[in-house]
Amino acid sequence: MPEWIVTTGNFAAAYAAKAAEVDVVAAYPITPQTRIVEKIAEFVEKGEMKAKFIRVESEHSAMAVCIGAAAAGARAFTATSSHGLALMHEMVVWAALGRLPIVMAVVNRAMAPGWNIWADHNDTIAQRDTGWIQFYARSNQEVHDTILQAYKICESEDVLLPAMVCLDGFILSHTSQPVEVLSEDDVRDYLGRYEPKHCLLDPENPKTYGNIVFPEDYIKFRHQMQQAMQRAKEIIEKVDEEFGKKFGEIHSHGGLLDPYRCEDAEIIATAMGTMASELEEAVDHLRKDGIKAGSISIRTFRPFPEEELRSLCENAKAVVVFDRNISCGLSGASYSEIRSALYDMPNRPAVVGFLAGIGGCDVTWRHLYEAIKKVALAERPPSGKVFWVGV
């Protein structure tokens, strides 16, 4: 039976891995992720979880273990953060091109120097082109549910790609919230067992995987990955809807994205992760001031919900994009993606970017409210401009 507990985002991730009955967990500590694998170690030690818990010497090895486990037919899980994800990069690419449905929790943390352990999305944004599905969670409940949904999505024959479930460091990872935790019994029938249809390591039927490939074949692999990403859009929407129907309304999080008060909105703001929750509060206050504002939580950054965003923004006069990352030399990552997605719309809205929360700087609804209000009241919204919050 489901159980309500007050717990952190890290523990919510661990409970989800337990409910998914993962077979192999590769563990290496890094702040602020460490408590995820510590909690899983506790489950395994107490006999509450039957997973093989493998302590490795680095994050690179952690993903290598997951690759081997998934290729052997096991459901694999790991967690990391920041520099750990950067060290893992080579194996992250291998997992995606190997079409292995590994799920990894990533606690977003800034990259050094200087050393910074607070929330920043640059660690996962730097991995956006590797072929992994990327989810960004707004709450501890969403962390828990998205990990379970991710296995359903990734193990689909139409997808067969790995996924990162990203949660803001400390803001979610170490902050306690009420979470309805699902048990193995709840989830077992929903997920079933992972039964790989290809790339299964079998000593009785040896094969070679990942050997040298000539260009005319390699391009086909990339093409197949792109097709799988596109198919994943429909499956993500379907899985979130079915998950909510099966386990209750609180377990439905919007699929690719989650709009708020966008039906008649003249100005729409977007964000990923916890800033998206603050946006909803800002929108409510802007509405009280007579400004027709709405917001969109971009839950899935890869695959990018281009068509869905266009549909929601077709009547808006301006779109304000908040990024907790910076692609130095251009702008925030979602800003450039949204600007591109909306570029050829018949009534193209002005697109204004704000860089906020970089390196863990605090961002409240008041910061977002003030930024959106300035754009809304401007005689001519500064389309194509990017501004900093907190500098």
Q: Are the folds of 3-250 and 257-388 the same?
A: yes
Query: pLDDT by residue (tens digit) across 239-249?
Result: 999 999 999 99
Q: What is the pLDDT of residue 1?
A: 85
Residue 5, phi then psi, degrees to nearest 5? -140, 160
Above 80 in pLDDT, residue 201? no
Lowest mean pLDDT among 137-141, 143-147, 366-370, 384-388: 384-388
Q: What's the gap between Cα 365 and its chain centre? A: 22
Confidence of residue 202 (pLDDT cuts 50, 70, 90): confident
Above 90 in pLDDT, residue 199? no
Lowest mean pLDDT among 112-116, 206-210, 318-322: 206-210
Domain ranges in the chain? Answer: 3-250, 257-388
Structure tokens at 94: 């291998």
**Tally of residues, the chain:** 391
Concatenated DSSP letters of 327-378: BTTTB-HHHHHHHHHHTT-TTPPEEEEEE-SGGG----HHHHHHHHHHHHH-
C-alpha 345/C-alpha 383 separation (Å) is 14
Specify the amino acid at residue 206. P
Q: What dotted CATH number matches 3-250?
A: 3.40.50.970
Query: pLDDT by residue (tens digit) across 207-266?
Result: 777 889 999 999 999 999 999 999 999 999 999 999 999 999 999 999 999 999 999 999
Lowest mean pLDDT among 41-55, 119-133, 185-199: 185-199
- In this structure, the strands spanning 300-302 and 133-136 are antiparallel
Above 90 in pLDDT, residue 206? no
Vertex 28: Cα angle to 26 and 32 (nearest 5): 120
For residues 69-83, one letter each, b for 16 or more C-beta atoms within 10 angstroms of the residue's C-beta and e for the rest, the string is: bbbeebbbbbbbbbb
Give 214: exposed, middle or buried? Use CB within 10 Å, 0-12, 13-18, 19+: exposed
- In this structure, the strands spanning 257-260 and 300-302 are unpaired
State the average pLDDT for the chain. Answer: 96
Q: What integer is the mean pLDDT of 107-116?
A: 97
Does residue 257 contact residue 299 with C-beta atoms inside 8 Å? yes
- The architecture of the domain spanning 257-388 is 3-Layer(aba) Sandwich (3.40)
Cβ contacts of 178 within 8 Å, gap of 6 or more: 4, 5, 6, 141
Identify the three-state secondary structure at position 40.
helix
Q: What integer is the mean pLDDT of 152-159?
A: 97
Q: What is the pLDDT of residue 144?
A: 98
Identify the three-state secondary structure at position 155.
coil
C-alpha 113/C-alpha 261 separation (Å) is 40
Helices (H), 248-357: 274-288, 306-313, 333-342
C-alpha 196/C-alpha 257 separation (Å) is 29
Confidence of residue 83 (pLDDT cuts 50, 70, 90): very high
Above 90 in pLDDT, residue 63? yes
Packing angle of the helix pair 59-71, 89-97 (nearest 10 deg): 20
pTM of the model: 0.97
Specify the amino acid at residue 205. N
